[in-house]
Amino acid sequence: MVRFARAGALVGALGLMASLALSGCGEERPVPEFVPGATSGATGTATPVAPATASGPPLALSPADGAKNRPVSVEIAAELPGGGEVSRVTLKTKDGKKVEGKLRTDGSSWVPSAPLKWSTRYIATVTASRPDGSVSEGTSTFTTMAKPGSMITSGLYLFDDRTYGVAMPVVAEFHPGIPEKDRAAVQKRMFVQTDPPQPGAWHWVGNGTQAYYRAPEYWKPGTRLSVRIALAGVPLSNGRYGNVDRNATAKIGSAFEMKVTNSDKQMRVYENGQLVRTVPVSLGKKKTPSSSGTLVVMEKKESTVFDTMDDPDPENRYVTDIDFAQRLTWGGEYIHAAPWSENVQGRQNVSHGCVNVSMANARWLFQRTKIGDPITVTGTERKLAPGNGWTAWNLSWSDFVKGSALPVPEGGAGPSV
């Protein structure tokens, strides 16, 4: 049995992983590469243009005029007694430099497109139109707080200008994990936009170290995903603040799906819904079974070394060169070439939990798969454990939305900003 992850690795912070009795034949979970902190986000201000002259009562703004020590994640909001809607928001530094941003789709606040600067003075001007045709305006001058010393670390498993599979969830990660009482506030600052538009929802995993975003069904091929995890300066109840904003824009490629059935020990491969190949496999033996469920390709290595010499069970200790390895779980399950088991593939399970295929089939698969492609395994002795890999698609939609910290409209929510 493979050891899961080094205790110091950021991704290994999932508290639930320590209790997973999973088998695997792969290497330890790697430290992830994170998208670097963003210096800008979506641009454009909310402008229908308001009439130039205010004729109604002044607005009460948040932050209030004269407010100090505001977080750099602060949003601009206005109270509108008697109804109406905000038609223009302008935010500038004291030297007149304009700050870009846009309104949330529900009109509740205006969100800067990038974190504000620490210890800096800003002037916000908001104009609103009322049902009676009058126009109200409010101005607030406020100052942001100094940079705090205690922060959370965040990560985003998505990279700019890359193409992913149709099951690629948006995966945000936090260390330490986000306490349950803070998740709604954090989730409000996690923005996903899709083109073409598709509804979606967030789902928190375990002790709040990860959150997944997905749609009710796999993404449509050709979808463009634009993600902003806008947590710089977000205050949490544990006295910490978000460290940086992270963003990425990526594309979803063609539909490539693998379906493995233990009953006949075959993998059926589909491209855009059409069966293109049937591959004999050998899954995990009874002592180290493969996980049944919907998994996602998380990582690909043309060649690597599986080293399990620290496994407590002597029968599971080995060092082996591996070709065409595709990671499926943090517990060490992969699709990979296994020339030593080719004579039993399609007939007998002999692996330590991996999906063994021939060298030729492993190469063929490796040349076609993308990070984010789904593989469904059925009929084994073990069920896929939540959080053991990117398990977002291992839940029905109705169960998935239960993991959201905010209410999810039926069918899923659209982008909030």
Q: Which residues are catalytic?
A: 336, 354
* Nearest partner of 73 among 208, 236, 209, 224, judged by Cα: 236
Residue with structure tokens 């969830």?
169
In one-letter notation, the amino acid at residue 271 is: E
Tell me the C-alpha to C-alpha distance, in Å, between residue 316 and each of 26, 306, 309, 380.
11, 11, 8, 19
- Rounded Cα gap, residues 271 and 326, in angstroms: 18
DSSP letter for 335, please.
E
Tell me the C-alpha to C-alpha distance, in Å, between residue 21 and each of 310, 333, 395.
16, 13, 20
Task: Check the CA dihedral 102-105-106-107 and report its sign.
Answer: positive
Judge contact between 136 and 11, C-beta under 8 A: no
* Nearest partner of 337 among 378, 280, 382, 291, judged by Cα: 280
* Nearest partner of 388 among 328, 336, 311, 335, judged by Cα: 328
* Nearest partner of 344 among 257, 285, 289, judged by Cα: 285
SS (H, E, C) 6-47: CCCCCHHHCHHHHHCCCCCCCCCCCCCCCCCECCCCCCCCCC
Judge contact between 137 and 57, C-beta under 8 A: no
Task: Kindly state the tokens that stand for 114.
Answer: 């990038």
Q: Cis omega before residue 148 (within 30°)?
A: no
